Amino acid sequence: MLTRGDVSEKQKKSKYMFKDLDTSKLTTMSFDEVVKQCQSYINKVASNFYRQVEDVKAKREMTERYIIEYVETEKPDVEGYESLSSLRDDLVEEITQYGPITEAMENPEIDEIRANGPDQIFIERHGRTELLDKYFNDREHMEKIITKLIRASKVRLTPKNPMVNARTIDGSRVNATHASISPYGNPAFVIRKFKKSTLSPYKMIQNESFSINMFKLLSLIPRADLSWMTVGPTGSGKTTLNEMLVKQIDPLCRIITIENPTELRLLRYRNDDPSDRVINDVLQYESVSEDSPDSSTATMENLLINSMRQSPHWIGPGELRAPREFATALRAAQTGHYLFTTLHAEGDQEAIFRFLTAYLSASNEPAELALRNICAAVKFIVFQERLADGTRKVTSISEVRGADGLKPVIEQIYRFECIDVDEDPITHKVRRIIGKHRRVGTISKELEQKMLKSGIKRSRFEYLTLPVDLNEEEDYNVDNL
């Protein structure tokens, strides 16, 4: 926390550090000008500790103290303000508050905030959508909050630039659209909040996202150098699952990831202390989209090509979209690198066919040969879904065994089977999806050999070679792990 001593020390230094902010030599400023000057002040005097604070509420409190310090030491002359106290209050409101969505921004249980107009605000909590009982005063108020949200990314939402992708100061993703492209004359935005912490495998097992035996298999996939794809619909938890899988890789295996925006948090620290040394060999890049006005050449395709020259053991493109990205990723997998990525697809076979379709759009290769190469490169497909009760589950884990002509040969090892729905007897709203995970297949002999060659003891995977027992109950008790 920022102590009074810290503030006092900075007050002593502020006149020396901010000669350029001597307001006595300036004419009266507008409110917009003083906001920019106050933010510049905070950026210059804020301690490293302040920059590392992840708790949104704590950071807001510290920011308020810096604003008070700025007003008391600089005493800016601002048009329309006779009192410094009223200026201070308005600066706090302008810099730290987001109107009706402020509490939702600070609530760690809320994953997403969506606004389709001033009085149409929705939130997503625990996988379920709710109507927020707050609203913006009018369109102008909503536009002002959007400007605050995207300010950290230094982009503007205008009729000439009516769609923006940006990030808030805490790293949350924002997509906003201008009122000029709405038939109702309303701006709109979606905020996908940046998670401060990720779910542990133990918590995911307790939530019955997967069973203990499924986790054992999932953890063996990266340890045995088996390339995989995590697939599923939007919002199904693919990134969270992928992060858990990647953390099973040996820390000295070199990993290069390419995302837009960066979401995976892979750095590991000695003694789990972020102030200590990083102990894993990870290099992370952030790509720009091909249609971005940014003149950077750091597209997914170019970064994939460059990553192959940087001695990676694993390459992780966050999500493949454009045909040339699929072609470059397959080339990486064929030249001695292991691959993990995510796709939007409705199942394991659909994921392979989507890869094939995109790849053929950028290649003249015969379809059968292309499919064979894809099935040789990708060894596992993990399918994740968000069910109607808001829970996120791994609904299948499949081994890709090759191709038979234009048909991928896929063996499901685990599957989630729905049995019934528990609903509220009055409202008929879904309370819980009733179902269970089952092992429905065995791993191939080739995969057994691959695991043994990777140094994995047979006893760790032997249960996956035994005949399927449909009466076998999956265990979710982490004490048995």
Question: Domain boundaries in the chain?
Answer: 4-97, 110-192, 201-480
145 pLDDT tier (thresholds 50, 70, 90): very high
Higher pLDDT, 255 or 294: 255
Mean pLDDT on 319-330: 93
pLDDT of residue 404: 96
Quote the pLDDT of residue 12.
Answer: 43
Q: Dihedral through CA 182, CA 188, CA 189, CA 190, nearest 10?
A: -80
Structure tokens at 255: 């990993």
The Cα 325–Cα 73 span in angstroms is 53
Instruction: For the chain, give the percent of residues with pLDDT over 70.
Output: 90
pLDDT digits (tens, 9 = 90+) for 8-60: 444 444 443 444 444 444 468 888 888 888 888 887 887 666 666 666 677 77
Q: Does pLDDT of 398 surpass 50?
A: yes
State the angle between helix axes of 238-246 and 212-223 in degrees (0 to 180), rounded to the nearest 10. 60
Average pLDDT over residues 269-296: 81
Q: Could you please report the per-residue DSSP string of 119-156?
A: TEEEEEETTEEEE-S---SSHHHHHHHHHHHHGGGT--
- Amino acid letter, residue 57: K
- What are the b/e assignments for 354-386, b being 16+ CB within 10 Å? bbbebbbebbeeeeeebbbbbbbbbbbbbbbbb
- The pLDDT > 90 percentage for the chain reads 62
Mean pLDDT (the chain) is: 88
- Please report the pLDDT score of residue 291 as a whole number: 61
What residue type is assigned to position 283 of the chain? Answer: L
Per-residue pLDDT at 18:
45
What is the pTM (predicted TM-score) of this model?
0.77
* Cα Rg, the chain, nearest whole Å: 26
CATH code at 201-480 = 3.40.50.300
pLDDT in tens, 453-477: 999 999 999 999 999 998 888 999 9
For domain 110-192, give the fold.
Answer: Beta-Lactamase (3.30.450)
